[in-house]
Every structure is written in structure tokens, then in C-alpha cells.
């Protein structure tokens, strides 16, 4: 006989801490160390561009999320992102009482990764942290000079897309076992779009992780990378039932089963909308 054991809250928070640490280390680390790498060309006397560029950074974010979702998703649900936590809570797929602890663990995990990246990067002679920590920004701090409004719109829309994917793959009707692949590819996709615009946050913990190490204008602009992703996530969580046709917003998720949920008559779909 097999028994399912629900992980304790400290175990789930540790998983979120570790997962967010790896997400920031992989994605932002690739941006800091590998996005642009010039190697000397001995034959021509010039330099070869061997960096991974935006595509490589986007894939690094996606691979980090994919691998850690497989590694600890069964423990915490693999949010690794305050926006995902808020979107899931709005959609009634996650308890609001656990949202703040999850977000705190994500931010702390991200900050530790930011510290690790900064600690390694400053070991290179001549390296400076300002503008070189993959910090998110708008205006003069956007990679391509995009305005505040453009960045807010892009971050909100792309975060909503990401949360739609997450909510979709955890639905009981979704193919089982492929969830991490879909979520990792979604992260890579939205990163490919957002990297030239804002250096791709769609994750307040990721934005916070490097902003203070980067300095300059990044801490002052950090609010935008909390407001826009959380707004997009809330919209996705509130409207996901319109896409699926299954409205679970009336379900009791406090841990006490409603009488109507205990027994389901034969031939009745338990996931069908309630009258």
C-alpha cells in the first residue's frame, strides 16, 4: 500500500528557496558571464564572439526552471516566482495563507544567487557591477531604451502568459509528466520576447535578486518589476476559468471539505462547473 505524505511548510519553503536560487543563478548567471564573451582569434588578431546572447540567456532561464521543477516540484509545486504564487492563489489553486511565506523564500533564494553571481563576477579584473548584473530596467536602463509604459505592458502580458501556462499544465486534464517541460519552455519563450525590452523579469524575485547588487538606477526602478508581473499574474488567475470552462473559484480550499465535495454521484464530473 502506498501512502501520500504532504510535505511540511518548512520543506516546501526550502524547495522554493532552492528552486529560485537555481533559477536566478542559471538565468542571470548566464547573462552576466556568458551572454557576451570575446575570445582572441590568434590567426586574425581580432576577437571572436562566443557569447550565448539573448537566446542562450532565455534558454538558461528555461532550463533552470525545467530541471528544478522536476527536482522539487513534487515538494512545493515549483512556483519559484511570486507572480506564479499570486496567480495560483487568485485562481484558488493555492492557499493565500501560504503565499507570503512562499514569496519570502523565493526572494531570499534569489538574493543568495545574486550574491553568488556578484561574488564571482568581481573576481575579474576591471569588472564593475553597475550595468553588468542583468538588472531589469526601463528608459535609460532598458537594454533597448524602452519606456516605462512599454515595459509595464510587456511585463504584465508576458507574466500573464506564463501563469496561464502554469495553471494549464497543473490541471488534472493536462498530460501528466510533461509539466516541467511546458513551464520551462514558457519561461524561455517569454524571456526571448522580454530580454531586449526589460532584460526579462516576469518574476519579482528575479528582479530583486540582482537590483541591489547592480546599483545605479536598478533599485529605484524595482517597483515596476513587482507591480507589472503581479498585476499580470492576478489577471491570469482571475480569468483562467474563462479559458478552461471549469470554474473552481467557488471551491473551499481551506482544508475543510464541503459536504457537496465529499461524495460525487455516479456519472457526475467532479470538475464540472457548479450550478
The length of the chain is 275
Mean pLDDT over each residue of the chain, to the nearest integer: 87
**What's the pLDDT tens digit per position in 161-190?**
999 999 998 876 777 778 999 999 999 999
Percent of the chain with pLDDT over 70: 82
- Please check whether residue 272 lies inside any domain of the structure: no
DSSP class of 175: P
* Domain CATH code at residue 200: 1.20.1080.10
The cell numbers describing 14, all together, are 526550502
pLDDT at 24: 98
Least confident of 154-158, 183-187, 259-263: 259-263
The Cα–Cα gap between 8 and 11 comes to 5
Whether residue 43 is contained in a domain is answered as yes
Given a cut of 80, is residue 4 above it in pLDDT? no
Number of domains in the chain: 1
Residues 265 and 256 sit within 8 Å (Cβ to Cβ): no
Indicate whether 2 belongs to any domain: no
In a domain, 68, yes or no: yes
| Domain of 118, in residue numbers | 9-246
pLDDT of residue 1: 39
Neighbouring-strand partners of residue 38: 49
What distance in Å separates the CA atoms of residue 53 and residue 58, rounded to the nearest whole number? Answer: 9
When comparing pLDDT for 76 and 266, which is higher?
Answer: 76
pLDDT at residue number 2:
43
Average pLDDT, integer, range 204-214: 97
Residues 95-104: pLDDT tens digits? 999 999 999 9
Contact predicate 51/78, CB 8 Å: no
Answer yes or no: is 73 within a domain: yes
- What is the tens place of the pLDDT at every residue in 45-92? 566 667 788 999 999 999 999 999 999 999 999 999 999 999 999 999
Confirm whether 209 is domain-assigned: yes
**For 191-203, what is the mean pLDDT?**
96
CB 68 within 8 A of CB 21: no
Instruction: Determine the Cα–Cα distance for residues 44 and 6; give it in Å rounded to an integer.
Output: 61
- 205 inside domain: yes
**pLDDT interval class at 35 (50, 70, 90):** confident
**Quick check: 18 pLDDT over 70?**
yes
| Phi, psi dihedral angles at 175 (to 5 degrees) | -55, 130
- pLDDT exceeds cutoff 60 at 254: no
Question: Quick one: pLDDT at residue 131?
Answer: 86
Average pLDDT over residues 185-207: 97
Instruction: Write down the pLDDT at residue 49.
Output: 66
Q: Is 209 exposed, middle or buried (0-12, 13-18, 19+ CB in 10 A)?
A: buried
The pLDDT of residue 39 is above 90? no
Domain assignment of residue 107, yes or no: yes
Amino acid at each position: 500500500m502506498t501512502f501520500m505524505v504532504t510535505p511540511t511548510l518548512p520543506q516546501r519553503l526550502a524547495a522554493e528557496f532552492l528552486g529560485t536560487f537555481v533559477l536566478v543563478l542559471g538565468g542571470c548567471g548566464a547573462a552576466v558571464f556568458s551572454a557576451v564573451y570575446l575570445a582572441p582569434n590568434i590567426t586574425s588578431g581580432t576577437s571572436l564572439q562566443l557569447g550565448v546572447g539573448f537566446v542562450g540567456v532565455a534558454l538558461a532561464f528555461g532550463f533552470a526552471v525545467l530541471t528544478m521543477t522536476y527536482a522539487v516540484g513534487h515538494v512545493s509545486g515549483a512556483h519559484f516566482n511570486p507572480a506564479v504564487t499570486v496567480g495560483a492563489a487568485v485562481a484558488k489553486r493555492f492557499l493565500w495563507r501560504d503565499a507570503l511565506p512562499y514569496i519570502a523564500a523565493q526572494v531570499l533564494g534569489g538574493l543568495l544567487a545574486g550574491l553568488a553571481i556578484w561574488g564571482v563576477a568581481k573576481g575579474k579584473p576591471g569588472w564593475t557591477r553597475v550595468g553588468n548584473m542583468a538588472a531589469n530596467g526601463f528608459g535609460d536602463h532598458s537594454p533597448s531604451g524602452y519606456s516605462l509604459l512599454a515595459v509595464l505592458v510587456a511585463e504584465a502580458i508576458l507574466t500573464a502568459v506564463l501563469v496561464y501556462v502554469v495553471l494549464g499544465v497543473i490541471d488534472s486534464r493536462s498530460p501528466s509528466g510533461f509539466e516541467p517541460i511546458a513551464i520551462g519552455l514558457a519561461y524561455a519563450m517569454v524571456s526571448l520576447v522580454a530580454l531586449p525590452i526589460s532584460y526579462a523579469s516576469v518574476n519579482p524575485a528575479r528582479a530583486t535578486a540582482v537590483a541591489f547588487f547592480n546599483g545605479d538606477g536598478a533599485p529605484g526602478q524595482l517597483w515596476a518589476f513587482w507591480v507589472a508581473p503581479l498585476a499580470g499574474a492576478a489577471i491570469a488567475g482571475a480569468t483562467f476559468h474563462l479559458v478552461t470552462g471549469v470554474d473552481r473559484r467557488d471551491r473551499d480550499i481551506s482544508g475543510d471539505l464541503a459536504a457537496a465535495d465529499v461524495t460525487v454521484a455516479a456519472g457526475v464530473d467532479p470538475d464540472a462547473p457548479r450550478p
